[in-house]
Structure formats: structure tokens, C-alpha cells
Amino acid sequence: MRLEMVVNRGAERSTKAAAPEHPATSIARAFGGALVFSLPVFMTMEMWELGFYMDRARLILLVLLNIPILVFLSHYSGFEATFDWRDDLRDAAIAYGVGIISSATVLSIFGLLAPGMSVGEIAGKVALQSVPASIGALLARTQLGGRHRRREREDRYGGELMLMAAGALFLSLNVAPTEEMILISYKMSPVQGIALVLGSIIVMHGFVFAAAFKGGSELSPHTPWWSAFMRFTMVGYVIALLISAFALWTFGRMDGQGVSTLLMAMIVLGFPAALGAAAARLIL
């Protein structure tokens, strides 16, 4: 009888633990994630200016590309358990809505949105800020007390690479708009650029594999080190560089620049992008 009572209590706790989270709690956590993860860009002058003058075609492309990323992230870190692409699409729409509302609210409080501004300027600022804010809203589920959920699809190679791309984009959006990226690329010598490439690769590989952080990939003892290095670290670094090039192009940092300057800027931005790519596979 006593053993049966213990079992029943354990089952009751498990049922409570598995109970679905209240929607209001999920939305509140999403707003918290949007603020916490996007506060640096909310308070970055270049982001305010870019929302006003950046090429609208590039802004629209960034907004559109963010949608499949949100759908993919929803598969792992959405507001609740999802079972098909419709649920993930709904989660992505909610996250985008949270990103838009939080961006408009914070920018208004900071005095960066005013009644006298044109509709295009207001829409541009909110649209640009809503991209990292929406990603932060989805990250809130795993980073601000939500249940940590991982699906079988994450173990597939394509899923791993997609996670890297999402992490690289999120972190690069925090620094790509700043003038410092171009300034650093001007100050660095070719030797220092090569050193940064090697350092980025080493840190990225060690961050995911050698450090054995929670969530890192577990390699079979029979898997040669170079296999993981080539399939994950090197491919991940190439993804980080491509995301860096896209971010620089989107924000107009490539316009009027020479090839050597552009390459160096990609290497500079590739450092935080690589860290974001590596971290995404651990925290999502």
C-alpha cells in the first residue's frame, strides 16, 4: 500500500510537470526574451538610422528570410509543443507579433518614434528591430525558464547546419550595423586577419566539441577528429562567413568598398557569427 502511494504521487508530479503551460505565461516569457536578447540593438544608434534610410528591398528580404528561421526555431523552442508545420507557423507568427509590439513599445519609450515621423520611417525602424526581437521571443522558451525541448530532426545533419545559421544570424545582427565592424577591418593587417580566422575556427571547434558543454555533440570514439572538424566546424564557419556577408550587404556596409576591405569585414563579423553558430547548437 505504501509503495502504491509513492508511485501514485510520483505519477501525479509527472502529470503536473507535463501539464501544458498557460498561454499568458508563454507570451509574457516571449516579451521578456524579446527585450533581453534584443536590448543591445534597441539601444544602438546605427539601427535607428538604418531603419530610416536603408534600402527597402533589402529590409523586406531580411524580414522575409526571418520567417522560415522562426518556423525552424519553433520546431525546437516554440511556445508550446508543436506537431506539424501549421503549429510551427503559428508559433512563428506569434513570435513576430511579439517582436513588432516590443520593438514599437521600446522605441516609443526611448523617444525614437514620434507622431511627426513619416509612416515609412516608423515602419522601417520597427521592421528592422523586430527581426532580432522575434528570434529572442522564441529563444525565451529555453533560456528564461521554459521547458527545454529537442526533436529527433535536430540530430540530422541539415538540422544542425540550420541551427548554426540561425545562431550566426542572430548574433551578427547585434554588431553588423555598427561602424566598428568596418573600422576594425581597416585597422587589421592581413596577418591579423589570418590569425582571426584561425582563432575563430579554433574557438568554434573547442566550444562545441572539446569543451563538452551541455548540449554539445557527442562523438563516437571511432569517429576521427578530422571528420567532425570538417563536417561541423569548417562547414559551420563557412556558414558564419556567408551569414556575415549577407548581413553586411543588407545593411549597406559593402557598398563602395574594395574586395580586400569586404573580405576583412567578413572575417571580423565572422568571429561573433561563428560563436553564435556554435552556441546555437548548445542552447536550442
- pLDDT digit string (tens) for 201-221? 998 888 766 544 444 455 555
Question: For the chain, how many structural domains are there in total?
Answer: 2
Residue 162 lies in a domain: yes
With beta carbons less than 8 A apart as the criterion, state whether 217 and 229 touch.
no
Residue 9 lies inside a defined structural domain of this protein: no
Establish if 7 belongs to a structural domain.
no
Out of 115, 148, 181, pick the residue that ends a domain. Answer: 148
Q: Do 121 and 218 fall within a single domain?
A: no
In this prediction, residue 5 has a pLDDT band, given cuts at 50, 70 and 90, of: very low
Dist CA 262 CA 79 (whole Å): 39
Residue for grid cell 516571449: 30
- Are 265 and 160 found together in one domain? yes
Last residue of one domain, picked from the residues 116, 148, 180: 148
CA torsion sign for 221, 223, 224, 228 is negative
Model confidence at 144: pLDDT above 70:
no
pLDDT of 193 higher than 60: yes
What CA–CA distances, in Å, run from 99 to 29, 78, 216, 262, 267? Answer: 12, 14, 29, 31, 29
Tell me if 182 sits within 8 A of 265, measured CB to CB: yes
Percent of the chain at pLDDT > 90 equals 34
Least confident of 94-98, 198-202, 207-211: 207-211
Both 131 and 181 in one domain: the answer is no
17 falls within a domain = no
Does 182 lie in the same domain as 135?
A: no
Where does a domain end: 148, 179, 198? 148
pLDDT value at position 84? 67
Which residue range forms the structural domain that includes residue 188? 155-283
Asked if the structure places residue 10 within a domain, the reply is: no
Same-domain pairing of 209 and 131: no
Cα–Cα distance measured from residue 114 to residue 112, given in angstroms and rounded to the nearest whole number: 6
Same domain as 196, residue 137:
no
Cβ atoms of 135 and 170 closer than 8 Å: yes
Identify whether residues 119 and 178 lie together within a single domain: no
Which range (45-49, 118-122, 142-146) has the least confidence? 142-146
